[in-house]
Amino acid sequence: FRFSGFPDRTIDEFLSWVDQIHAGMRETLELKRVVFGQDIVVTEMHTQFRGINGFETDNLADRWGPVWPGNGPLVKMFVWYTLDKDGHIIQLTEDAYLEKEASRDVIRSHDDFKYYLNAFNTNDFDTFPRYYTSDVTIVLDGKQTLQGKDEAVSFFRNARNQLNEDVKVKSIVLDKTGVALKSDIKFTALTNIEDILHFGSGVRKGGGYEAHFLIHYELTPEGKIYYITAAQSGPVKIFNPS
């Protein structure tokens, strides 16, 4: 057996190399075309790489861009399988081209969403707004609607000067069109505040609110958030320092 990428390596060396790759990345193959000949099989496939086990790199194979847990590039591959008379593969030859480089500012996986939500919860304004389209709409429990990224960022900056917000996911459903989740949200006042969230009462510094929310994030085909709907579900617990 010979592999075009390492023509001098044995089958055991090839398999060891594959094991090393798969220790840090998962490959999902989508077969696009296949042609059978007497002693050859030719395929065209799309390979989606995703980092696992904490693996990250800024530029896979020095040409395919970043990989991190849960995401990575989409690569178009052409693979030729040369067969012996018994149908066993004796040579594997491939050529590959970058179809789509991964971006950290989109949501395509649960890990991507965790990265976004962590940035949101920790007031990382350099990161979480990059997931929004410029014309994002955010509907806050039917009480207020934010139009556009600039208005949304300004609102959250002003709010976080008065209280922190921590969103904990209870359950989540994610597909290519959106993210739906049940969440517990804790708001903690950084100073004495009035009832700015319309929960029925202001609170003292160190106090706050705990509430259940249903949140739906609608995604563009590229994975950007363009519409968020947040709806309170159930009563709000109001607490104050003793």
Residues 114 and 92 in one domain: no
Which of 140, 144, 203, 216 shows the shortest CA–CA distance to 173?
216
Q: What's the gap between Cα 172 and its chain centre?
A: 13
**Tens-digit pLDDT profile for residues 8-38:** 889 999 999 999 999 999 999 999 999 999 9
pTM: 0.68
Residues 75 and 172 in one domain: no
Residue 57 lies in a domain: yes
**Tens-digit pLDDT profile for residues 169-226:** 999 999 999 999 999 999 999 999 999 888 999 999 999 999 999 999 999 998 999 9
Residue 131 lies in a domain: yes
Residues 114 and 232 in one domain: yes
Residues 173 and 222 in one domain: yes
Burial 210-231 (b: 16+ CB within 10 A, else e): bbbbebebbbeeebbbbbbbbe
User: From CA 163, how far away is CA 242, in angstroms rounded?
Assistant: 18
Which range marks the domain in which residue 95 is found? 2-100
Q: Choose the final residue of a domain: 82, 100, 118.
A: 100
Residues 20 and 82 in one domain: yes
User: From CA 217, how far away is CA 176, in angstroms rounded?
Assistant: 11
The count of domains in the chain is 2
